[in-house]
Amino acid sequence: MIQITPQMRILLAVEAVDFRKGIDGLAGVCRGVIKMDPFSGYVFVFRNRRKTSIKILMYDGQGFWLCQKRLSKGRFGWWPGREEEQVYLLAVHELQLLIWNGNPASADIAGMWRKVAVQG
């Protein structure tokens, strides 16, 4: 079972990827485009070109998890724009909002009382 905790680092790929890619293809995107090791324990989030699906790739120490959510209707309304960066760092609550097709950028969330240390 996948459990997303506040200590996890979540990286969202800004550019769309080909959703015919599976674990190995997305791990290649992690290495080549995002410049991160897919075995790092980071959670990687990708979207398709039409913004109708997202895929989440994560390594748990034994193997990879690959999850996909495809909306039954509509598109994901929020995604960071094409800036100089290839990735966008998300907090856990932002990923949860994104999965429910919310807008993490406009959510009225209380600030962190104390910054959570990331295990790296």
| Pair 103, 77: CB distance under 8 Å | yes
If you average pLDDT over residues 53-66, what whole number do you get? 95
Element of type H or E holding 45: strand 43-47
DSSP reduced 3-state for 28: helix
Is the pLDDT reported for residue 36 higher than 60? Answer: yes
Neighbours of 58 (CB within 10 A): 20
pTM value? 0.86
Q: What is the pLDDT of residue 37?
A: 97
**Domain ranges, ordered by start, for the chain:** 10-106
Quick one: 100 exposed, middle or buried, by C-beta within 10 A (0-12, 13-18, 19+)?
A: exposed
Query: Would you say 20 and 36 are in contact if contact means Cβ atoms under 8 Å apart?
Result: no
pLDDT at 112 (0 to 100): 65
Q: What is the pLDDT of residue 11?
A: 95
Residue 118 pLDDT level (bands cut at 50, 70, 90): low
Helix (H) / strand (E) element for 98: namely helix 92-99
